[in-house]
Structure 1
Amino acid sequence: MAKSKILIVAEKWTDCDPRQGKSAAQHNFVASLAATGLAEYSTFFFDEMAVNGHPDIDAALMTACQAYEPDLIFLKMVRGADLNPTAAGLAKIGQKFETKISSLYGDTFDEDAIQWIERYTPFVDFNIMQDCYSVYHQYAKDVSKYMDAWTPQDPATFFNNDGLRPIDVSFVGSVARYPDRKIGIGMLAYQDFNVVQRGGGAEADLAIDEYAQLLRQSKMTLNFSRPVFDEPSFQCKGRTIEATLCGAMLLEQTNLETRKWLEPGVDYVEFDNERDLSEKAAYYLAHEDERQIIATTGCRKATEMYSATAYWSMIIERMLG
């Protein structure tokens, strides 16, 4: 039986900027699908098209569909960018081809995000919500057109090797625009823990393999799930699954989004504020057995339930089954 053909439409570079290196979409979606062997795939990078001077992204995508004839277009949209395919372009593709279209969105923590998504909704089969699963219920016209999903990871990059963990606490992510992150990390460092903090996004100073290795060297790793400058709601960041797959105990801000996939106190540990973070980090460094039990349970759940194979099996079944 022939495998399904998936055209992944996404950004090639972080923030669509070639100076910033590969985007997370390349390991989250391209590499993760390749690792499963569940489908054939091709890629269409809309930012690369723009940089190379293509005047019409919609026309270029139409040409790619004609050449590849995908069963599914897996579209990963970039909020705030004007390089995404347009709703009108997707409407034309839907009229011309018998292909399913899914459109994946991150940073969907406010009403503006849902209003943006709703402009595309009539022309796609499903909107896939990557990191916020509560807000769209308040603003979407038809929630049956929405599905929730975690962020898949490449198993060749994110895995647990049961090695030594000399780092007490790590955090890899942006801090410049996040006061809570600066305060929390500062309080941990003040306690003389071995804290390693490296940049993320536009501040990134680690290759993806180096980042995964840092997680494997960490007893605990942090995730701050609130958006920039205390904007409403929370997000289940990709960091959540990355950390647990690599066997570090996850310390994460209390939020409902992550609880959709993991159980607090069993698979990871929540903290309510910077003082609570400091106290819980100290506790779990002093109680190694408890920390190891939570880390092991979280790693097992992520590996068994939230693998790349589980993700793409779900997408293919929902879209093409």
Structure 2
Amino acid sequence: MKLNTDIQVLLAVLVGFVCFLLFDYTIILGLIAFPFLIYFLMKIKTESMMHLWITTLILIIVASVFFTVFSFMLLMIAFFVAMFLERTIRGGYTQENAIVYTGFMLGLMLLSFIIMLQAVGEIPSFDVIAGRVIDWYSGQLKEVEKIVGATEIVDMKLISAYINQFFITLPAQILIFGFFMSLYTVLMVRVLNPIGRVWQKRHFMYWIVPRFVAHLYFIGLLISLFIAPEGPVFNVLSNVMLLLEWALFVHGVAFTFYFVKKKNMHTAVVVLFFVLAILLRPITIFIGFMELILRIRLRMELDNGRK
């Protein structure tokens, strides 16, 4: 049933209010409701740009009056993501491209907002958070040592190094999180709009990462051999390498799925290989890297074409 645009505006405001409420209560529930807000904003955008601006203005007032700055941040991300996703549909993008581009944009926006909030002192910097986590963990460890009457239960220096490394690569992890949020959002929008115009669908086993990713990864490995594991250069390289590893991981999973499907293996075997590819991440990254270098999938396609 086609709804009047004014009714869709009211529904979008209601969904936005619920989304902000859930986001203030717990971030996870807010993110789960995120695609529903995106869907209504996209629907309104396709019918009337003026109604989209009215909806956004109402939601800005609601977010500013009743909720925190984080809800306002969520609204801005939702607005631009909805605009971009609607553009990808009109532009005839594949679902794969829509997920990747939207994920990159979503991650960059989220990272930009976090940096802005850190600049105005709304949230502490990553270094400060890392120091607090280390201090808290150290205090908890000392309490445990008092209770059990032992010392050096774990190597605190090693734990501190892991925690610091986690926060060093947090920008890259935010971008990766943006990709997964994009994946979830695009799939949910497709489910919510089953009869409307959506993206061209390409099977996951045909997903291909650009070949230059493998070249950059190899160059990054070489550079890492000649720099000290500290300082700004190491921090930037760590973030870049993490992003490249995830790209190769996705490519490796897709190629593994493609390989077992083309070999006409039993469904149970296909599922088993798919699960193993996800669990054995280092091996899957290597598989993705070698596939890009050797172009195994292209060779298989050419061999099948000659038969």
Provide the TM-score with structure 2 as the length reference.
0.29
Which structure: greater strand fraction? 1
Which structure: greater helix fraction? 2
Which structure would you say has the larger Rg? 2
Provide the TM-score with structure 1 as the length reference.
0.28
